[in-house]
Structure 1
Amino acid sequence: MELKYGASREKPREDAAMQRFRGHRVGQFIHWGLYALPAGRWEGKDVEFAAEFLPRVAKVPQQRWEALANDFTLADFDAERWADTAVALGARYMTITTKHHDGFCLWPSAHTDFHMGNTPSGRDVLGELVAAYEARGIDVNFYYSVLDWRHPDWRFTLENDADNLAFARYLDFAMKQLEELAERYPSVKGFWFDGTWDESVKANGWWTWEVERMLKERLPGVVVNSRLRADDLGARHVDSNGLLMGDYESGYERRLPEPWDRSVAARDWEACMTIPQASWGYHQGPWAQSTLKHPWDVVDMIAHCTSLGGNFLLNFGPRGDGSMAPAEVEIARTVGEWLAVNGEAIYGCGYAEGWDYPGWGYFTRDSSTGKVFAVVTRAPASGRIRLELPTGLELVGLRLLGSGEYPFKGLADSVFEVELGGASNAGPRVFAVETSALAHPASEKEPNPDVLD
């Protein structure tokens, strides 16, 4: 099918900027805005829904919501501390919400009065964050919500000519804001779009094409997620010919593909995950605070994504005063300590072709050296795992990351057993796997007497 606004390529990008993004594997997502002030509570009642959706779920009058900007004093905001949390996590990139669905902007935008410049501090939060993170060698990406509940020209659907005219004005506004972000912060490495699921956007696939084209002209090498795009017929993420739009698939939100689904490894993708069960912005209520993920669950997800060639973006929701939630900082520290020892199996790694999903964890492969790693996130109760290699290979060495050479026992051609012993306080164990071709390939398997010809 001929499409004017479909995918711009059939195969993944292989330029240096895309390879850098792909090799990062671990990122920090940050959702922060006015919604961090009420933090999921309105008029004394906890609203058991994502904190950033509070103005809609609690039906907060627009004037009252906008008045929160007067209390957004940034009393304890320090971009350096946020960046230090990313370092502790072991993140190689971060993505920050420049504007969420309520329309409030974390930079002093010339195209609206609803922005950080009109709060008591008047600070350019984005500028401070870009400087702090880049000083630590961490790439910065910008989240931008196309959906805007506050803007008078936003439309969810286009019912008539008046809607079309209004929405055309809105798209012009959004384009100007994106041009402004590209001009003000030219070192940004990627744009992460959201709020593009409504019929109004899907009917304007040409605009999503133009946004991607504009950003890539102004910021050579910039990476754009699939959520931005819609094609001529309104298909999102993947066009009507089945080709991925944008540079990587970002449809995995608080979910991961099945660990044995090798098909996802054919293209770049990213999963984003909350630390509480279901809130991106900081939610102070027990509904969110009682559901924090365990650091080893996060490690499992990182290894899961890496094993299928995907990146993992872990979300943090700073509090209304600008401070990071202590529980989230502690989770970052624990995960980062694991990565400091075992990052060799994550950074720059991806899908280990030919190595079947083992059930007890994941296999990853270093993209440059070809070295294979076994990440044991679900140790069996027996305290031992079966290491089944691709046919024709034998195990000649096993190295426990952070320790040294490790014993193993052969069971059959290409099948080995590894004794793990008891649980480790340091989290999931990772082995570097050294193999060679079998000197004497396996003969025909012994026939099974229970199977008749």
Structure 2
Amino acid sequence: MMDLKYGASREKPREDAAMKRFRGHRVGQFIHWGLYALPAGRWEGKDVEFAAEFLPRVAKIPQHRWEALANDFTLADFDAERWADTAVALGARYMTITTKHHDGFCLWPSAHTDFHMGNTPSGRDVLGELVAAYEARGIDVNFYYSVLDWRHPDWRFTLENDADNLAFARYLDFAMKQLVELAERYPSVKGFWFDGTWDESVKANGWWTWEVERMLKERIPGVVVNSRLRADDFGARHVDSNGLLMGDYESGYERRLPEPWDRSVAAHDWEACMTIPQASWGYHQGPWAQSTLKHPWDVVDMIAHCTSLGGNFLLNFGPRGDGSMAPAEVEIARTVGQWLGVNGEAIYGCGFAEGWEYPGWGYFTQDSSTGQVFAVVTREPASGRIRLELPTGMELVGLQLLGSAGHPFNEHPFKRLAGSVFEVDLGGATSAGPLVFALETGAITGPVAEKEPNPDVLD
């Protein structure tokens, strides 16, 4: 292995209490909010069919005009309590909020720039209000921070000469000071989620990413940091040049998930983040975004998908320019949360079910404490029946439909097909979303009919 100064700090996943808490949450709420919520994807009467938070770059908006939006950021309908209530309705156990996005605007009154919430008409400390509201409901708060900063004069995408190196050194000092400020001003924050670290300038300064992680963990014991922050001595990101994960969990899954049969991802902690519209994180008012909202059951499928492979699912919300949550997103949160209220036993504190193969009709999850295995049926076959293939040598003793309190495990009908393969009658469709069964299993104790040999398959 290479001798790295700034590579991974460990070979195996963290097992301390703070990391176990983060891992067990499984469902989080992501929030992208800033000045981009005001134009909401529209500039000079024209919808820009691109992510709303990239509007100043895509629409080539002059910097002075973009900064002038701060005068209209009045927070007329912003209420941290209502945002936190939406997270409760979703069933989220943690929240990640954009403290500063790529345009450089800060949601807290930073001492290191004048481009912040303190210099808007309300002068409110949005981060402070959110931390108080969410923590009062038992929801952990994480901070998103973009290292990329389009506004700062010392930001560089690449480092071409000594002048670039000097300028970027000043920028990294600025960013470090802001991160120290966030850690000291909001010491109860549970994690930092970094973005904007893909440019050559950052990759050439892996030492700085190492120092940021070290600084945060010194100031906030137990804090969790994503892999997206890190680069090693040679510019490798997320995973160092020795193949080891940097940071505490992999955060490379953005609007995508690993293949459901890819068991290798379960070897480490990871998180996927997902938009509700097709491709915008900040609120986009145009039909390009509003006509592509995900169905709640698609969201449930993604949650179960991530849990089945030992990952967390971070669902993004883009509040509107006045500070209110978009009604359609609130309704999706409510529906997903109602499903979790019945079936959360198969999600919270659960993860990869060792030995259980991907079944095609949904996912298997397993409680990390009790060992209980669940079958989450997100793609019900037209026959209304599923095949449960258990690990070799194991048989199905009984099963219970979650939400049917009081019904014994052996009441729901099933039959053995062969060996460790069983068939379950789902009992018809339901309007309450995907069905979830808790499985009661045991070792096969008697003779069973073996699977019929297939002469077309060679050994």
> What are the superposed Cα offsets for residues 128-161 of structure 1, whole Å, 9 maximum, x if unpaired?
0000000000000000000000000000000000
Deviation for aligned residue 1:451: 5.7
Deviation for aligned residue 1:421: 3.4
Match status 1:405 vs 2:406? no
Deviation for aligned residue 1:414: 1.1
Deviation for aligned residue 1:449: 4.3
Deviation for aligned residue 1:423: 1.9
Within a 5 Å distance, the mapping from 1:389-428 to structure 2 comes to 389-403=390-404, 405-428=411-434
Check the 8 A contact 2:6/2:233 in 1, yes or no.
Answer: yes
> What are the superposed Cα offsets for residues 363-400 of structure 1, whole Å, 9 maximum, x if unpaired?
00000000000000000011110111111011111000
Check the 8 A contact 1:10/1:243 in 2, yes or no.
Answer: yes
Deviation for aligned residue 1:411: 1.4
Check the 8 A contact 2:307/2:351 in 1, yes or no.
Answer: yes
> What are the superposed Cα offsets for residues 236-266 of structure 1, whole Å, 9 maximum, x if unpaired?
0000000000000000000000000000000
Deviation for aligned residue 1:406: 1.6
Check the 8 A contact 2:28/2:95 in 1, yes or no.
Answer: yes
Local SS of the residue matching 2:375: strand
Q: Quick check: 435-444 or 155-164, which moved more?
A: 435-444
**C-alpha distance in structure 1 between counterparts of 2:200 and 2:154, whole Å:** 15
Q: 1:65 to 1:374 in 2, by over 3 A?
A: same
**C-alpha distance in structure 1 between counterparts of 2:424 and 2:372, whole Å:** 19
**C-alpha distance in structure 2 between counterparts of 1:60 and 1:391, whole Å:** 62
**C-alpha distance in structure 1 between counterparts of 2:436 and 2:110, whole Å:** 47
**C-alpha distance in structure 1 between counterparts of 2:417 and 2:403, whole Å:** 26
Q: 1:155 to 1:378 in 2, by over 3 A?
A: same
- C-alpha RMSD of the superposition: 1.2
Q: 1:273 to 1:446 in 2, by over 3 A?
A: closer
Match status 1:71 vs 2:77? no
Match status 1:451 vs 2:457? yes
**C-alpha distance in structure 1 between counterparts of 2:72 and 2:454, whole Å:** 74
Count of aligned positions: 453
**C-alpha distance in structure 1 between counterparts of 2:127 and 2:304, whole Å:** 30
Ranges in structure 2 where 5+ consecutive residues have no aligned partner: 405-409
Q: 1:440 to 1:117 in 2, by over 3 A?
A: same
> What are the superposed Cα offsets for residues 194-228 of structure 1, whole Å, 9 maximum, x if unpaired?
00000000000000000000000000000000000
Deviation for aligned residue 1:86: 0.0
Local SS of the residue matching 1:311: strand
Deviation for aligned residue 1:420: 1.4
Q: 1:442 to 1:391 in 2, by over 3 A?
A: farther
**C-alpha distance in structure 2 between counterparts of 1:27 and 1:452, whole Å:** 47
**C-alpha distance in structure 1 between counterparts of 2:448 and 2:10, whole Å:** 43
Deviation for aligned residue 1:310: 0.2
Q: 1:62 to 1:420 in 2, by over 3 A?
A: same
Deviation for aligned residue 1:412: 1.5
Check the 8 A contact 2:418/2:451 in 1, yes or no.
Answer: no
Deviation for aligned residue 1:7: 0.2
Deviation for aligned residue 1:452: 7.0
**C-alpha distance in structure 2 between counterparts of 1:451 and 1:356, whole Å:** 20
> What are the superposed Cα offsets for residues 242-301 of structure 1, whole Å, 9 maximum, x if unpaired?
000000000000000000000000000000000000000000000000000000000000
**C-alpha distance in structure 2 between counterparts of 1:452 and 1:333, whole Å:** 51
Check the 8 A contact 1:229/1:245 in 2, yes or no.
Answer: yes
> What are the superposed Cα offsets for residues 305-330 of structure 1, whole Å, 9 maximum, x if unpaired?
00000000000000000000000000
**C-alpha distance in structure 1 between counterparts of 2:442 and 2:193, whole Å:** 42
Deviation for aligned residue 1:422: 2.8
Percent sequence identity over aligned pairs: 93
Q: 1:42 to 1:445 in 2, by over 3 A?
A: closer
> What are the superposed Cα offsets for residues 348-368 of structure 1, whole Å, 9 maximum, x if unpaired?
000001000000000000000
Match of 2:133 in 1: 132
Match of 2:267 in 1: 266
Deviation for aligned residue 1:440: 2.7
Local SS of the residue matching 1:6: coil
Deviation for aligned residue 1:405: 4.0
Check the 8 A contact 1:392/1:442 in 2, yes or no.
Answer: no
Check the 8 A contact 1:254/1:274 in 2, yes or no.
Answer: yes
**C-alpha distance in structure 1 between counterparts of 2:134 and 2:412, whole Å:** 38
Match of 1:362 in 2: 363
> What are the superposed Cα offsets for residues 4-28 of structure 1, whole Å, 9 maximum, x if unpaired?
0000000000000000000000000
Q: Quick check: 435-444 or 397-406, which moved more?
A: 435-444
Within a 5 Å distance, the mapping from 1:78-157 to structure 2 comes to 78-157=79-158
Deviation for aligned residue 1:103: 0.1
Match of 2:407 in 1: none
**C-alpha distance in structure 2 between counterparts of 1:320 and 1:258, whole Å:** 36
Q: 1:405 to 1:448 in 2, by over 3 A?
A: closer
Check the 8 A contact 1:360/1:376 in 2, yes or no.
Answer: yes
Local SS of the residue matching 1:172: helix
**C-alpha distance in structure 2 between counterparts of 1:137 and 1:416, whole Å:** 41
TM-score when normalising by structure 2: 0.97
Check the 8 A contact 1:408/1:418 in 2, yes or no.
Answer: yes
Check the 8 A contact 1:392/1:441 in 2, yes or no.
Answer: no
**C-alpha distance in structure 1 between counterparts of 2:49 and 2:423, whole Å:** 47
**C-alpha distance in structure 2 between counterparts of 1:23 and 1:59, whole Å:** 43
Ranges in structure 1 where 5+ consecutive residues have no aligned partner: none
Moved over 2 A (4+): 440-453
